[in-house]
Structure 1
Amino acid sequence: MARRLVLALICVSQFMVILDASIVNVALPSIRRDLGFTGTGPAWVVNGYLLTFAGFLLLGGRAADLLGRRPMLVAGLVLFSAASLAAGLAGTPTVLVTARIVQGVGASLLAPATLAVLNTTFTEPHERARAFGAWSAAGGVGGMAGALAGGAITTGLSWRWVFLINVPIGLALITAALVSLPVVRLVRRESLDLAGALAATGGLAAAIYGVMQSGGHAWTSARVALPVTAGVVVLVLFVVVEARVAVQPMLPLRLFRSRRVAVGTAMLLLFGGIAIAMWYFTSLYLQNVLGYSALRAGLGQTPAAVAFVLVARVASALLPRVGVRALIGGGAVLFLAGFGWLSQAGGYLGGVLPPMLLVAAGIGLMFPTLMATVTTGVDPADAGIVGGLANTASQVGSSVGLAVLTTVGAGGYDRVFLVAAALGPGIALVSALLPRRD
């Protein structure tokens, strides 16, 4: 019973974190009108959350290792819930954007802690695989449910409840965490690598900020090139600090001696582009080409979300039996077929729904497999930082994928789907570098 409560805790936490990345989109027109946002201000209600979420994930992961998974999971829930309350009660644009930034920090503490709890609680291979399937499905449904839930809440209640609904859920999760997670006495007495933490967070935030600007500016413009360049330079400095200077590095580079960690991280970077192409660009196609409302588009993607959940559970059961490469290869074939079909898309029933189901099935095969690949065999003392690394790779891949595919999309959605089709075989090729024993 206790283990089921732990699994429910980490799954609902993951669902809430991913849901809040997309649920606000449908509510933005109401938020703009009620709070008097001007210009590009409303975009920061979304971007403020995504920027700090992605930027602080490595720091959140290392904090879970040094300070404890239970304390950091509870701290993330408290911060996330308090910021949600502030966002729901916000009376000015500044208060709302600030609350969303703090919400992102809370999410960055929470997400790697959930993965670390999963990795250290469920150690038997079949049980662990099932837990990964449930955790992956929860995150996938959270991302998918954003438009549907946001539209329903905004229409039926108010945009404020898009945020306020997190408060009772957060309180329930805090209670569950205190009841179900054991208090673990820490045996490590390392201090936080402050220089590394600042460099990693600043570099990631700057690079992702620049990538975000590419939606409205050319890649060669100062608005994009300067922050991206600065971010990359700071991240290179971070690697130097971790390798040569830090006595107790935040991200020990020895972790990359594991081919599972190194190759799995590379595959998650590529996978981020596939996830964005599926959920974001098919939604745009339904709205901009077929004329669907945002709510109807969310409903149109619901069968794909169901397919993802079902296949993710099956994939997790198959993983210990058939191995990583077989599932990644199957996912690559489904991506190639599904995105190739979407590039010829016509009406919903004949040209969008069937290929969406194929791609969703491919995501269901691949996502839990990739997450399990990166974290399998990791020292429990490093579970938090590896969880932060895996989440960071996925988020950075999504941000870069969104920017690149938006540029490609200027020539039509067919090009977006053809580029996405190539990413699946790319992941399969990279998987050949994994150790032979899955």
Structure 2
Amino acid sequence: MTTLTASPAPVTHDRMTTRQRLVLVLLLGSQFMLAVDFSILNVALPVIGAGLGFPLADLQWVATTFALAAAGFTLLSGRVADLFGRRRLFMIGMALLGASSLAGGLASSPGMLLAARVAQGVATAIVTPAGLSLLTTSFSEGPMRARALGLNGALMSAGFTSGAMLGGLLTDLLSWRWAFFVNVPVALAVLVATPALLQESRPAHRPRMDLAGAVTVTAGLLALVFGLTRTGEHGFADPAGLAALAVGTALLVAFWFVERRAAAPLVPVSIMKRSTVKWGNLAGLVAFATETSLVFLMTLYLQKVLGYSALATGLSFGVLGLGTVAGGVVAPRVVARVGTGRALAFGFGTQAVATASLVLLGSAPGWIWLLLAATFVGGIGNMVAIVTFMIVATSGLPDSQQGMATGLATMTQQVGITMGIPIMSAVATAAMGTILQGVIVAVIVNAALALGGAFIRTSR
């Protein structure tokens, strides 16, 4: 039987030791930095284009190349961490992140910048599941793990929203290059602290790597994310986007059959059939797709209807960030009191009601107050749903499979982030007599999806 050792050892008492607090700070800090990287360059894209000579139509590739690599390699990386050592993969990923961030900050051409973004995406795909599996194996399943995951979820979601603010400030005060450089000292600090705080965890017996599964799932995810991004830009009638979606779907179906026959599967079919893994990840897909696409819709509203600048728009989402932090703090208490099924219903229900209230938005400046209140309350509900999803999707599994479980959860997160915006963009465009009208129709669809998430049952 495969056995793992991890440090610090899982605990069952309700108070963290000093060492465990340091481990938590280390892992949460790294996850927060990765979340910031998803959005830190969005506000700076026009400045980057002018500085490096990017054609306007190609600027979106600064974000797309990162998303492709981050989503495409995450499941493989989670399993590799299980087999070859989580601390080792975590440190390799952090080193790659520091080096690619330095390269991005020093880039002198579009090609150099895009290569750096690809490397940052790969680093994210390595560090995120490795860091999450180190987190889940450091605390026993129950209140302590729920608290750690709640804090992790709060900081990651705050990172997504604060990335735009930080990117705007760095670009205005210094240079867009500092959106890259800021990662370098953080990565170095994590690399120095990791050997002192974390011991390696790896199996006593390492099975053979499932190469066929690795190829089909990685290629399938890359094609799927590319297809979603392409259709989001050019519409769902775009031949290249539809072809990529078809290829991605076919490869993921092939991955299922490969795993059924593999001697040492990348992701055993028995794991994917578990109700906690299956329904937990479905909840995560809904949670990330709805909230990230709502940010996109509200960005359209703030800039195109109310006339806000990019920096003012980013600052407006600071209230959403506060809501997600509050949601991450209260989520473990909600789960402990009512269980995961009711916590999921509470989170999605709260998010749906808050989102639905945004159909009242108008073109007068005073409507900003409704937006701020609704995104704050919706952020709380969304984070309760996200934390519950992470608890459910990683529960009931031995430590030897936590990298796999967190890899699946991270893949769900990144695919949800990628697919939400194209879907809401297509809805808004189809209904767009005016920009406000298109946004309102898309908000109704978004609220309906969140409400549907409230009916997901996890059997726990």
Q: Does 1:334 align with 2:350?
A: yes
Match of 1:161 in 2: 178
Is 2:210–2:265's contact at 8 Å kept on the other side of the alignment? yes
Match of 2:324 in 1: 308
Q: What is the distance in 2 between the residues matched to 1:184 and 1:328?
A: 32
**Could you tell me how far 1:17 is from its partner in structure 2?**
1.1
Q: What is the distance in 2 between the residues matched to 1:52 and 1:257?
A: 26
**Could you tell me how far 1:335 is from its partner in structure 2?**
2.0
Question: Which of 319-328 and 106-115 deviates more?
Answer: 319-328
The one-letter code of the counterpart of 2:452 is G
**Could you tell me how far 1:39 is from its partner in structure 2?**
4.4
Match of 2:15 in 1: none
TM-score (ref. length: structure 1): 0.96
Select 2:443's aligned residue among 411, 417, 425.
417
Is 1:116–1:387's contact at 8 Å kept on the other side of the alignment? yes
Match of 2:312 in 1: 296
1:110-125 superposed matches below 5 A: 110-123=127-140, 125=142
Question: Which of 289-298 and 162-171 deviates more?
Answer: 289-298
Is 1:61–1:113's contact at 8 Å kept on the other side of the alignment? yes
Match of 2:154 in 1: 137
TM-score (ref. length: structure 2): 0.91
**Could you tell me how far 1:65 is from its partner in structure 2?**
0.4
Select 1:355's aligned residue among 374, 396, 399.
374
Counterpart secondary structure, 2:167: helix
The C-alpha deviation readout for 1:112-145, integer Å capped at 9, x for no partner, is 0111011100115221111011100110011001
Q: 1:169 to 1:350 in 2, by over 3 A?
A: closer
Match of 2:21 in 1: 4
The one-letter code of the counterpart of 1:373 is V
The one-letter code of the counterpart of 1:200 is V
User: Where in structure 2 are there 5+ consecutive unaligned residues?
Assistant: 1-17, 432-437
Match of 2:409 in 1: 390
Counterpart secondary structure, 1:214: helix
Q: What is the distance in 2 between the residues matched to 1:305 and 1:170?
A: 23
**Could you tell me how far 1:224 is from its partner in structure 2?**
0.9
Q: What is the distance in 1 between the residues matched to 2:425 and 2:84?
A: 40
**Could you tell me how far 1:383 is from its partner in structure 2?**
0.4
1:17-416 superposed matches below 5 A: 17-123=34-140, 125-184=142-201, 186-244=203-261, 246-346=262-362, 347-410=366-429, 411=431, 412-416=438-442
Select 2:452's aligned residue among 408, 426, 434.
426
RMSD: 1.4
Is 2:86–2:202's contact at 8 Å kept on the other side of the alignment? no
The one-letter code of the counterpart of 1:332 is F
Counterpart secondary structure, 1:182: coil
**Could you tell me how far 1:350 is from its partner in structure 2?**
3.8
Q: What is the distance in 2 between the residues matched to 1:312 and 1:224?
A: 36
**Could you tell me how far 1:67 is from its partner in structure 2?**
0.7
The one-letter code of the counterpart of 2:409 is A
**Could you tell me how far 1:253 is from its partner in structure 2?**
1.1
Q: What is the distance in 2 between the residues matched to 1:354 and 1:331?
A: 16
Q: What is the distance in 2 between the residues matched to 1:425 and 1:348?
A: 24
Question: Which of 46-55 and 179-188 deviates more?
Answer: 179-188
Q: 1:333 to 1:428 in 2, by over 3 A?
A: closer
The one-letter code of the counterpart of 1:139 is M
Is 1:336–1:421's contact at 8 Å kept on the other side of the alignment? yes
The one-letter code of the counterpart of 2:297 is F
User: Where in structure 1 are there 5+ consecutive unaligned residues?
Assistant: none
Match of 2:13 in 1: none
The one-letter code of the counterpart of 1:151 is G
The C-alpha deviation readout for 1:174-205, integer Å capped at 9, x for no partner, is 11211110133531311221111111111100
Counterpart secondary structure, 1:189: coil
Q: What is the distance in 1 between the residues matched to 2:31 and 2:127?
A: 8
**Could you tell me how far 1:222 is from its partner in structure 2?**
1.4
Match of 2:8 in 1: none
Question: Which of 151-160 and 30-39 deviates more?
Answer: 30-39
The C-alpha deviation readout for 1:296-332, integer Å capped at 9, x for no partner, is 1122121221121012111113312221122212122
Question: Which of 83-92 and 278-287 deviates more?
Answer: 278-287
Is 1:49–1:103's contact at 8 Å kept on the other side of the alignment? yes
Q: 1:65 to 1:349 in 2, by over 3 A?
A: same
Q: 1:115 to 1:185 in 2, by over 3 A?
A: closer
Is 1:25–1:46's contact at 8 Å kept on the other side of the alignment? yes
Question: Which of 220-229 and 199-208 deviates more?
Answer: 220-229
The one-letter code of the counterpart of 1:270 is V
**Could you tell me how far 1:13 is from its partner in structure 2?**
1.1
**Could you tell me how far 1:349 is from its partner in structure 2?**
4.2
The C-alpha deviation readout for 1:36-92, integer Å capped at 9, x for no partner, is 112422211111111100000101100110011111111110111111111111111
The one-letter code of the counterpart of 1:304 is L
The one-letter code of the counterpart of 2:151 is A
The one-letter code of the counterpart of 1:280 is F
The C-alpha deviation readout for 1:247-303, integer Å capped at 9, x for no partner, is 111111110232111111111122222122332222222112111111111221212
Is 2:76–2:266's contact at 8 Å kept on the other side of the alignment? yes
Question: Which of 286-295 and 156-165 deviates more?
Answer: 286-295
Q: What is the distance in 2 between the residues matched to 1:148 and 1:186?
A: 42
The one-letter code of the counterpart of 2:106 is L
Q: How many pairs are equivalent?
A: 433
Q: What is the distance in 1 between the residues matched to 2:56 and 2:327?
A: 42
